[in-house]
Amino acid sequence: MNLVPQTHSTESVAKDLAAVVPPHTLIADTETQVVYECDGLAMYKQPPMITVLPESVEQVQAVMRYAHQSGIPVVARGGGTGLCAGAMPHAEGILLSLAKFNQIQHIDPLARTAVVQPGVRNLAISEAAKIHNLYYAPDPSSQIACTIGGNVAENAGGVHCLKYGLTVNNVIKVEMITIEGDEVVIGSEGLDSAGPDLLALMHGSEGLLGVITEITVKLMPIPERMQVVMAAFDDVTKAGNAVGAVIAKGIIPGGLEMMDHFAIVAVEEYLQAGYPTEAQALLLCEVDGTPAEVEEHIAAVTQVFEQMGATSVRISQSEEERQLFWKGRKNAFPAVGRLSPDYYCMDGTIPRSQLANVLLKMAEMSERYGLRVANVFHAGDGNLHPLILFDANIEGQFETTEEFGGKILELCVEVGGCITGEHGVGMEKIRQMFTQFSETELTQFHAIKAAFDSANQLNPGKGIPVLKNCQEYRSVGGA
């Protein structure tokens, strides 16, 4: 499957598109399009040929029909907070921004669902549903800015996905536009749908199969009570083992997060969340439910942490304190970002039983590569987010960092995990797809892609490696 050849100029494409969508929805000049040249992984950049900001489903259809007929690639974009270069534009293609699709269409408190457009911010759903004592459970750290369409594209998780599931577990229907410009409804508002589960297929598809224009999500009742147990450990191995011990106790926390010493100190200096800076590792375990359930589980979790060697255990005593504990965790990335000119946020998933082992091996790699690493991750479901600190101004250091990150992903696969938990593959991890999957499996991925997009026009060069062992993929800047 080859990338679509380009034979069009920006001027001709702009003229053609102006005939099918309002001219004010088009951005063709280079300077204005700079803001679209990358997503949150800013090391990978590529300006688009032209950007379109459609305002209706009909306009999306018109753009897709034109692109399909003209053989022009299309890359869909949400809030731009992605961390795998999945929304990086194609140099000779259309960047389709869904930013204007930002309306919550309907909230049904009886069915506990919300119908939203893809440009709606993740947090905005919970804010709108709060009046009905409901909320949307998946909560990525970027939830204040990331959009629900991007969440579906990357199958985003978050602090509370351990108990309530990833995006795929909280979406019941999507409406999308195919590359041919046809509107397709996948899933339903019923409890089940006939046929193969195409809805699950759309989650994590990274814009390779279609452009989503509407999403129906599940809403959850706001728990009666929520409390966080914060436990400090003098050793990362003890903390890693404590994570498995909590689950083995039969308790599924609302969230179970871990940070190492480097991250703890960075966060505390950044916003004073009350974290013990002498700790080598910190666990944040939230339990929710009825007051009686929470009281019972808080006692059990506290006992487990103490038995596993916690040097201190602190329980949130108010909603304000609970929010402060989580504020520290959700601001860990910017906190660490203050310590170095650049950092590279990785994303891999491992079995919980391997947490301590992988942390120790990453520490060894850190010494070998001469690069500091801060670890902040969703410990309960084994989703690692190592932050590798580097300076892109030092020649060769990004390439070294990229190699280090690749070795972390390979380690995740080696211990029985996978190369991504929620950030996606995009451009960043495409070389490691050969570590995760055999050529036979990748051939099946290509068959699925071809069933939706036989000419490979939707987000080409991302997600599924096209070239043998990715030898022709450049390390920076695209394929």
The predicted-structure confidence for 37-82, as pLDDT tens digits, reads as follows 999 999 899 999 999 999 999 999 999 999 999 999 999 999 999 9
What is the CATH code of the structural domain delimited by 104-221? 3.30.465.10
Domain(s) labelled CATH 3.30.70.2740 in the chain stretch across: 340-453
- Residue 217 phi, psi (nearest 5): -110, 155
* C-beta of residue 220 within 8 angstroms of C-beta of residue 165: no
The pLDDT assigned to 470 comes to: 45
Top-tier CATH class for 225-334: alpha beta
CA distance 76 to 5: 19
3-class SS at 431? helix
**C-alpha dist (Å) from residue 20 to 53, 58, 59:** 13, 10, 7
| C-alpha 453 chain-centroid distance | 24
Domain(s) labelled CATH 3.30.70.2190 in the chain stretch across: 225-334
What residue ranges of the chain have pLDDT lower than 50?
Answer: 1-5, 469-479
CA distance 268 to 114: 37
Task: Determine how β-strand 94-97 pairs with β-strand 50-52.
Answer: parallel
Domain 340-453, architecture per CATH:
2-Layer Sandwich (3.30)
CA distance 209 to 206: 8
Domain(s) labelled CATH 3.30.43.10 in the chain stretch across: 10-97
Domain 10-97, architecture per CATH:
2-Layer Sandwich (3.30)
| C-alpha 280 chain-centroid distance | 27
DSSP 8-state symbol, 437: S
3-class SS at 346? coil
Tokens for 76? Answer: 């869909």
CA geometry: angle at 203 spanning 47 and 221, to 5°? 120
The pLDDT assigned to 6 comes to: 52
The pLDDT assigned to 468 comes to: 56
Where in 270-337 does DSSP place strands (E)? 281-289, 312-315
